Structure 1
Amino acid sequence: MNTTYLRIELARVGRDLVSLFFIAVLPAFFFVIFGVSMGYGAAAIGNGNASMYTMISMAAFGAVTATTGVGGMAAVERMQGWGRQLGLTPMSDTRYVSVKATVAFTISLIPIALIYLIGAFTQASAPGWVWLASAAIVMLGAAVFSLYGLIVGLLFRSEAAVGAASGALVVLAFLGNIFIPLSGAMLEIARFTPLYGIVGLARYPLTDGALVSMEGVGGNDPLWALLLNVGVWTAIFAVGAVLLVRRGRSRQ
């Protein structure tokens, strides 16, 4: 990996204060509103409480927003000519991808660390292993959405499109049962959306798969169903990215 290029990329992303606000501050604000300030935050849920449940949800939302943005901009750079510029340097495609992946992973740590820090100093409660396991699953799950960002960047070749893709995550987060507990037909639809499996897996150490609704805790998401959701959407995003990369090469 080219450490110099990695440092430049991290500095460039760090200067984009507007993007950092939506990546880190906005999910943290949502957590404060829906997880810290609400009276039900101390209510018991599984191996912890409701505040912990909301904290995991908001950390996942912030992390996928981060990886979507970095993945999308990497694709736009390649399609707009940056790839030809890099071709004049000794840097290989593998190194370029590894740098971008490292940048996406690093940026995704910002909302996770900030939200978990707020949770630690407020009323989020769970055993230590739940904190560690949920954070690790959030980080791994967020990597899937770097492929989503990559697809959007390759498909539309526009920074505005990448911004729209990040904005569309709000809709996917709602459908993914992140912002408010869904029930009935909406819950059945949600089970087929790309964020549902990732967030469900991140919550699993806390809830053991139990579903939370406005009426309380009831129902269950089997572990295999959550893994299947993540596996299928990862495959869809990966195949889509490969096909779009090949299409881009055929046009050059």
Structure 2
Amino acid sequence: MSTLTVNAPLMKLEITRAVRNKKFLFFSIVYPSALFLMIAGPQKNEIVKGTGLTTAAFYMVAMASFGALTAVLMGNSERIAKEREKGWVRQLRLTTLPGRGYVFAKIASAAVVSLPSIVIVFIVAAASKGVRLDTWQWFALTGVIWAGSLVFAALGVALGYLVSGDAVRPVTMILYFGLSILGGLWMPTTAYPQWLQNIAEWLPTHAYAALGQAIELGNAPGAKDIAILAVYFALFAGGAAWLYRKDTLKA
């Protein structure tokens, strides 16, 4: 029996729980679109320094990436930490579900929920600010932002096993806002001092946003950005797997 078949019931349960969580849906789907309107709405649609993109195009990718980040990071970390404390994870270990299946189900279900947040930001940007792209660009943008969110889904799983239920929210929020702001999702990194720009270009959020920005300019995503995200994914997913095994030994 394949891992996907074994995981299907758990994935369905995770998606159902997320859809029923109104607070989660607001912050992962409505919040990014509202931020786009608040930030890009009042501004003139001029070229953002150092990017070659208009204000609307820049913030469309930034907020779509931010929305996906919210859905996969905030949802996974807190939910897993709480489930560990309540004994739900320990109960799952008594079933036929393999350890990797639990981690896979968390990442995959979070990625499914992140898709609406990306699409809604695109719709709002096109309707309110007149963003226009070729058909292939819309599909490519959706694909790279969705795929890139898996990096942060893995980070969310790792945090869920690393931090206790009481501490997981503040720790996640610090990482969430820190990565978003320093990585250029809330404002262009070209507005930062040079020393901060040098740090930002190695952050996963900076590389994440750069994927979509390249496509908006009609280019292929940069090899450096893809490599940075691949390294972070390996670190986060590997860390999540190691922490899961460590947690199993303590159970």
5+ residue gaps, structure 2, are: none
**Residue in 2 that maps onto 1:233:** 232
What is the SS of the residue equivalent to 1:131?
Answer: helix
CA-to-partner distance for each residue in 1:75-96, whole Å, 9 max, x for gaps?
3255332122223444444543
* Number of residue equivalences: 240
Instruction: Kindly indicate whether the alpha-carbon contact (under 8 Å) linking 2:137 and 2:218 is maintained by their aligned counterparts in 1.
Output: no
Q: Normalization by structure 1: what TM-score? A: 0.82
SS of the residue 1:14 aligns to: helix
Superposed, 1:134-173 pairs within 5 Å as 134-158=141-165, 160-162=167-169, 164-166=171-173, 168-173=175-180
The answer on whether the counterparts of 1:74 and 1:150 sit within 8 Å (CA) in structure 2 is: no
Q: After TM superposition, where is structure 1 displaced by more than 6 Å over at least 4 residues in a row?
A: none
Task: Give the letter for the 2:176 counterpart.
Answer: L
> Counterpart in 2 of 1:202?
212
Give the 3 Å change call, closer, same or farther, for CA 94–246 of structure 1 in structure 2.
Answer: closer
1:32 to 34, 37, 41: 37
- Identify the structure with the greater strand proportion: 1
Q: 1:40 aligns to what SS in structure 2?
A: coil
Question: RMSD of the TM alignment (CA)?
Answer: 2.8
Is the 8 Å Cα contact of residues 66 and 107 (structure 1) preserved in structure 2?
yes
TM-score by length of 2: 0.83
Q: How does 1:1-252 map to 2 (within 5 A)?
A: 1=5, 3-40=8-45, 49-73=54-78, 75-76=80-81, 79-80=84-85, 81-122=87-128, 123-158=130-165, 160-162=167-169, 164-166=171-173, 168-183=175-190, 184-207=194-217, 223-252=222-251
Q: Quick one: distance in 1 between partners of 2:210 and 2:182?
A: 12
Query: Does structure 2 retain, via aligned residues, the 8 Å contact 1:60–1:138?
Result: yes
Find the residue that maps to 2:60 and give its secondary structure: helix
Q: Which runs of 5+ in 1 are unaligned?
A: 210-221
